[in-house]
Amino acid sequence: MAKLHVTTTINGDPVEFLCEPHHTMLDVLRGSLGLTGSKEGCGSGDCGACSVTLDGRLVCSCLMLAAEAEGHQIRTIEGMAEGEMLHPLQQKFLEMAALQCGICTPGMLVAAKALLEHNQEPTETEVRYWLAGNLCRCTGYDKIVRAVLETAAEMRGAAR
Protein backbone atom coordinates (compact mmCIF):
# COMPACT_ATOMS: atom_id res chain seq x y z
CA MET A 1 0.00 0.00 0.00
CA ALA A 2 1.53 3.27 -1.10
CA LYS A 3 1.77 5.95 1.53
CA LEU A 4 0.84 9.52 0.71
CA HIS A 5 3.29 12.34 1.18
CA VAL A 6 1.66 15.41 2.65
CA THR A 7 3.13 18.90 2.98
CA THR A 8 1.28 21.16 5.35
CA THR A 9 1.65 23.79 8.06
CA ILE A 10 0.99 22.97 11.70
CA ASN A 11 1.00 25.72 14.32
CA GLY A 12 2.86 27.91 11.86
CA ASP A 13 5.63 25.40 11.18
CA PRO A 14 6.15 23.66 7.85
CA VAL A 15 5.54 19.95 8.31
CA GLU A 16 5.82 16.96 6.02
CA PHE A 17 4.52 13.52 6.82
CA LEU A 18 3.66 10.18 5.26
CA CYS A 19 0.25 8.66 5.90
CA GLU A 20 -2.08 5.94 4.74
CA PRO A 21 -5.03 7.23 2.70
CA HIS A 22 -7.48 6.21 5.43
CA HIS A 23 -5.58 7.84 8.27
CA THR A 24 -7.33 10.75 9.90
CA MET A 25 -5.63 14.00 10.78
CA LEU A 26 -6.01 12.97 14.41
CA ASP A 27 -4.21 9.66 13.75
CA VAL A 28 -1.26 11.53 12.29
CA LEU A 29 -1.21 14.31 14.90
CA ARG A 30 -1.21 11.83 17.77
CA GLY A 31 0.89 9.22 15.99
CA SER A 32 3.83 10.15 13.82
CA LEU A 33 3.77 13.85 14.75
CA GLY A 34 3.61 13.21 18.51
CA LEU A 35 1.09 16.01 19.08
CA THR A 36 -0.99 14.16 21.67
CA GLY A 37 -2.73 17.25 23.01
CA SER A 38 -5.62 16.54 20.66
CA LYS A 39 -7.58 13.66 22.21
CA GLU A 40 -9.69 10.88 20.75
CA GLY A 41 -12.83 10.51 22.84
CA CYS A 42 -15.11 8.99 20.22
CA GLY A 43 -13.62 9.01 16.72
CA SER A 44 -17.02 9.99 15.33
CA GLY A 45 -17.20 13.76 15.74
CA ASP A 46 -19.49 13.62 18.76
CA CYS A 47 -17.16 14.76 21.57
CA GLY A 48 -14.95 17.50 20.15
CA ALA A 49 -11.87 16.44 22.13
CA CYS A 50 -9.87 16.34 18.88
CA SER A 51 -10.83 19.89 17.82
CA VAL A 52 -8.29 21.74 15.67
CA THR A 53 -8.59 24.56 13.18
CA LEU A 54 -8.15 24.08 9.45
CA ASP A 55 -7.36 27.39 7.77
CA GLY A 56 -8.87 29.05 10.84
CA ARG A 57 -12.06 27.05 10.78
CA LEU A 58 -12.96 24.78 13.70
CA VAL A 59 -13.12 21.08 12.75
CA CYS A 60 -12.86 17.66 14.37
CA SER A 61 -9.51 16.20 13.35
CA CYS A 62 -11.03 12.72 13.63
CA LEU A 63 -13.41 13.61 10.77
CA MET A 64 -10.71 14.80 8.43
CA LEU A 65 -8.35 12.67 6.39
CA ALA A 66 -4.71 13.47 6.97
CA ALA A 67 -4.28 13.68 3.21
CA GLU A 68 -6.63 16.67 3.17
CA ALA A 69 -4.09 18.73 5.10
CA GLU A 70 -2.01 19.15 1.94
CA GLY A 71 -1.36 22.83 1.44
CA HIS A 72 -3.49 23.94 4.37
CA GLN A 73 -2.89 25.47 7.80
CA ILE A 74 -3.64 23.39 10.90
CA ARG A 75 -3.60 24.74 14.43
CA THR A 76 -3.75 22.54 17.52
CA ILE A 77 -3.77 23.08 21.28
CA GLU A 78 0.04 22.88 21.19
CA GLY A 79 0.08 26.11 19.21
CA MET A 80 -2.29 28.08 21.42
CA ALA A 81 0.17 29.62 23.88
CA GLU A 82 2.81 31.96 22.51
CA GLY A 83 6.05 30.75 24.02
CA GLU A 84 5.55 30.85 27.75
CA MET A 85 2.63 33.28 27.46
CA LEU A 86 -0.62 31.39 27.84
CA HIS A 87 -3.56 32.53 25.72
CA PRO A 88 -6.03 34.51 27.87
CA LEU A 89 -8.48 31.59 27.64
CA GLN A 90 -5.88 29.16 28.96
CA GLN A 91 -5.11 31.50 31.83
CA LYS A 92 -8.78 32.04 32.63
CA PHE A 93 -9.52 28.31 32.59
CA LEU A 94 -6.84 27.90 35.25
CA GLU A 95 -8.01 30.82 37.38
CA MET A 96 -11.66 29.81 37.25
CA ALA A 97 -11.10 26.05 37.59
CA ALA A 98 -12.83 25.43 34.28
CA LEU A 99 -11.41 21.93 34.11
CA GLN A 100 -11.45 18.89 36.31
CA CYS A 101 -9.94 15.83 34.67
CA GLY A 102 -8.66 17.88 31.74
CA ILE A 103 -9.31 15.46 28.88
CA CYS A 104 -11.83 17.73 27.13
CA THR A 105 -9.80 20.85 27.91
CA PRO A 106 -7.61 21.02 24.78
CA GLY A 107 -10.61 20.66 22.47
CA MET A 108 -12.67 23.04 24.58
CA LEU A 109 -9.94 25.70 24.45
CA VAL A 110 -9.40 25.35 20.70
CA ALA A 111 -13.17 25.66 20.16
CA ALA A 112 -13.51 28.61 22.53
CA LYS A 113 -10.64 30.43 20.82
CA ALA A 114 -12.34 29.91 17.46
CA LEU A 115 -15.52 31.36 18.95
CA LEU A 116 -13.83 34.50 20.22
CA GLU A 117 -12.14 35.02 16.87
CA HIS A 118 -15.56 34.80 15.26
CA ASN A 119 -17.60 36.64 17.87
CA GLN A 120 -15.96 38.96 20.36
CA GLU A 121 -19.07 39.52 22.43
CA PRO A 122 -20.89 36.20 22.66
CA THR A 123 -23.92 35.77 24.89
CA GLU A 124 -24.15 32.84 27.29
CA THR A 125 -26.48 31.11 24.83
CA GLU A 126 -24.06 31.64 21.95
CA VAL A 127 -21.20 30.19 24.00
CA ARG A 128 -23.30 27.18 24.95
CA TYR A 129 -24.39 26.40 21.40
CA TRP A 130 -20.94 27.00 19.92
CA LEU A 131 -19.47 24.56 22.46
CA ALA A 132 -22.28 21.99 22.17
CA GLY A 133 -19.97 19.74 20.18
CA ASN A 134 -17.44 19.61 23.01
CA LEU A 135 -18.53 17.10 25.62
CA CYS A 136 -17.39 17.56 29.20
CA ARG A 137 -18.54 15.02 31.77
CA CYS A 138 -16.85 16.56 34.83
CA THR A 139 -17.83 20.19 35.16
CA GLY A 140 -21.47 20.52 34.13
CA TYR A 141 -20.05 23.25 31.82
CA ASP A 142 -20.80 26.02 34.34
CA LYS A 143 -17.23 27.14 34.98
CA ILE A 144 -16.26 26.63 31.34
CA VAL A 145 -19.00 28.95 30.09
CA ARG A 146 -18.17 31.52 32.75
CA ALA A 147 -14.47 31.38 31.86
CA VAL A 148 -15.19 31.94 28.16
CA LEU A 149 -17.55 34.85 28.88
CA GLU A 150 -15.09 36.44 31.29
CA THR A 151 -12.18 36.04 28.87
CA ALA A 152 -14.23 37.62 26.11
CA ALA A 153 -15.02 40.58 28.36
CA GLU A 154 -11.38 40.99 29.35
CA MET A 155 -10.15 40.75 25.79
CA ARG A 156 -12.65 43.40 24.74
CA GLY A 157 -11.46 45.57 27.63
CA ALA A 158 -7.83 45.10 26.65
CA ALA A 159 -8.58 45.91 23.03
CA ARG A 160 -10.15 49.22 23.92
Partner 1 sequence: MTDIRYLAPRTLDEAVGAFAAAAGAARILAGGTDLLVQMKAGTVSPGLIVDIKKIAEMTTIEETADGGFCIGAAVSGAVLGEHPRFGKVWPGVLEAVNLIGSTQVQGRATAGGNLCNGSPAGDSVPAMIAAGAIVTVQGPKGRRQMSVEAVPAGPGRTNFAPGEILVAFTLPPRPKGSGDAYLRMIPRTEMDIAVVGCGVSLTLEKGICTAARVALGAVAPTVLLVEAAAKALVGTKLDAADLDTAAAACSASCRPIDDKRGTIAYRTKVAGVLLKRTAAIAADRAGKV
Partner 2 sequence: MNEHSNKWIGQRTIRPDGADKVTGRAAFGADTTMPGMIWGKVLRSPHAHARIRSIDTSKAESLPGVKAVVTARDIVNFTTDKPFILGIQDMRWMCRNVMAREKVLFHGHPVAAVAAATEEIAAEACKMISVEYEVLPWVIEIEDAIKPDAPILHEFNKLDGKPSNITGKLEHKLGDIAAGFAQAEVIVERSFKTRPVHQGYIEPHACLVSVASDDKTTIWSSSQGQFMVRAMTALLTGLTQSDIRAIPAEIGGGFGGKTIVYLEPLATMLSKKSGRPVKMVMSREEVMRASGPTSGSSSTVKIGATKDGRIVAAHGIYYLQAGALPGSPIRGAAGCSFAPYDIPNVLSQGFDVVSNRSKVVAYRAPGAPIGAYAVECVMDELAVALKMDPLELRLKNAAKQGTKAAHGPVYPRIGFVETLEAARAHPHYKAPLGKHHGRGVASGFWFNAGGESSAQVNITEDGNVVVMTGHPDIGGSRAAIANIAAELIGIDYKSVSVLIGDTATIGYSNMTGGSRVLFASAMVVTQSAEKVITILRARAAKIWNIDPDAVTWEDGAARPAGDNAGKFAPLTLAEIAAKATETGGPIGAGVQLNTTGAEGGFATHICDVEVDVDLGIVRVLRYTAFQDVGKAVHPSYVEGQMQGGVAQGIGWALNEEYIYNRNGQVDNAGFLDYRMPVCSDLPMLDAVMIEIPNPKHPQGVRGVGEVPLVPVMAAIANAIHDALGIRFYSLPMSPPKVLEALDLPRAAE
State the residues that interact with partner 2 by CB under 8 A. Answer: 30, 35-44, 46-47, 49, 76-78, 80-81, 86, 90, 93-97, 99-106, 109, 124-125, 127-129, 131-146
Task: Name the strands in the sheet holding 13-19, side by side, starting at the edge strand that comes first in the sequence.
Answer: 13-19, 4-10, 73-75, 51-54, 57-60
Choices 10-18, 42-50, 73-81, 86-94 (CB under 8 A): range interacting with partner 1: 42-50
Task: Name the phi and psi angles at 38, rounded to 5.
Answer: -80, 130
25 binds, among partner 2, partner 1, none (CB under 5 to 8 A by kind): none
CB 65 within 8 A of CB 22: yes
Q: Measured on CA atoms in the order 73, 15, 62, 80, is the torsion positive or negative? A: negative
Site string for partner 1, 1-30 (x = CB under 8 A): x--x---------------xxx-x------
Residue 114 CA to residue 116 CA, distance in Å, equals: 6
Beta bridge partners, 16, equal: 7
Binding residue for partner 1, selected from 58, 98, 116, 136, defined by CB under 8 A: 58
Where do contacts with partner 1 occur on this chain (CB under 8 A)? 1, 4, 20-22, 24, 43-46, 48, 51, 54, 57-60, 62-65, 67-68, 70, 111, 114-115, 129-134
